[in-house]
Amino acid sequence: MDLGIRGRKALLCGASRGLGRACALALAQEGVDVTIIARGSEALEEAAAEIAAANPVAVKTVAGDVTTKEGRAAALAACSRPDILLNNADGPLPGDYRDWSRNDWIDALDAMMLSPIEMMRLTVDGMMARGFGRIVNIVSRSVKIPQIELGLSNGARSGLVGFVAGLARQTIEHNVTINNLLPGIFDSDAQRQHVRALVEPDGRSFEELWRERAAANPARRFGRPEELGAYCAFLCSEHAGFITGQNLLIDGGSYPGTY
């Protein structure tokens, strides 16, 4: 299927590794020019080189932190009129809610709720004026299946999802869609870090916990980042203009509900 987005411009936050990088690659394979953002420049340049080597598109990099005003400004300076926006950054480490201070909560809200909202605020009017826009937020299944040790994520990301539910219904008439992708377990650096953080309290090895997590999923495996990248590319396609305000699980069937 031709996704009909050749020549479009995408701004992808958190895209040097893992799920964000897979989204950038999938869009580049569809002929989209990509601007990718991450804090660390080594992985960023490596990702850009890999994407550019395999695809005849323009690839720009921005080394910056999208949870800061400066980072967002640098991103938009590099790609001032994006047709496609991917919001993505780090999630929180697991912990006990008793240990979280007000500052921990403010940091979580900044990273997982307010930064993506700010990126949308800065780009959505231009998309509406131009008559095309696709915004995808990488969120987490934790907004549908609360994970007890990820309270900061359960809370902050629910705020984002709640905001998007209202905004997405105001932009769709201008062919601007906004959807949230809710990943389950994917094999990425962040997932490995998450499992590593569970090792000590649990007393079992990383390998044991890793295997146990895969076995607990109905697919008996972790998701592959490129599977999420392909989903993201479809949501950004011209064919997906009637899909908006949705919270889309991609989790190997681990969400246990019918609806």
Ligand X SMILES: NC(=O)c1ccc[n+]([C@@H]2O[C@H](COP(=O)([O-])OP(=O)(O)OC[C@H]3O[C@@H](n4cnc5c(N)ncnc54)[C@H](OP(=O)(O)O)[C@@H]3O)[C@@H](O)[C@H]2O)c1
CB-nearer residue toward ligand X: 21 or 172: 21
* Residue in 8, 17, 72, 144 binding ligand X, rule: CB under 6 A: 17
The neighbouring-strand residues paired with 36 are: 12, 61
Per-residue string for binding with ligand X, 70-109, x by CB under 6 A? -x----------------xxxx------------------
Tokens found for residue 256: 């246990």
Q: What is the dihedral of CA 71, 72, 75, 81, to 10 degrees?
A: -170
Least gap, CB of 176 to ligand X (angstroms): 23
Sequential DSSP letters for 6-64 = TT-EEEEES-SSHHHHHHHHHHHHTT-EEEEEES-HHHHHHHHHHHHHHSSS-EEEEE-
Residue 61 within binding range of ligand X, rule CB under 6 A = no
Least gap, CB of 66 to ligand X (angstroms): 4
Tokens found for residue 31: 């002929």
Asked if 160 and 113 count as a contact pair (C-beta separation under 8 A), the reply is yes
Residue 239 within binding range of ligand X, rule CB under 6 A = no
Residue 23 within binding range of ligand X, rule CB under 6 A = no
Helix (H, G, I), strand (E, B) or coil at 134: strand
Residue 66 within binding range of ligand X, rule CB under 6 A = yes
CB-nearer residue toward ligand X: 88 or 177: 88
Residues 6+ apart with CB under 8 A from 130: 81, 83
Residue 33 within binding range of ligand X, rule CB under 6 A = no
* Residue in 4, 29, 31, 39 binding ligand X, rule: CB under 6 A: 39
CB-nearer residue toward ligand X: 61 or 171: 61
CB-nearer residue toward ligand X: 67 or 123: 67
Q: How many residues bind ligand X (CB under 6 A)?
A: 30
Q: Of residues 184-223, which lie at the interface with ligand X (CB under 6 A)?
A: 185-186, 188-191
Distance CA(30)–CA(98), nearest Å, equals: 46
Helix (H, G, I), strand (E, B) or coil at 169: helix
Binding site for ligand X (CB under 6 A): 13-20, 37-40, 43, 65-67, 71, 88-91, 138, 140, 183, 185-186, 188-191
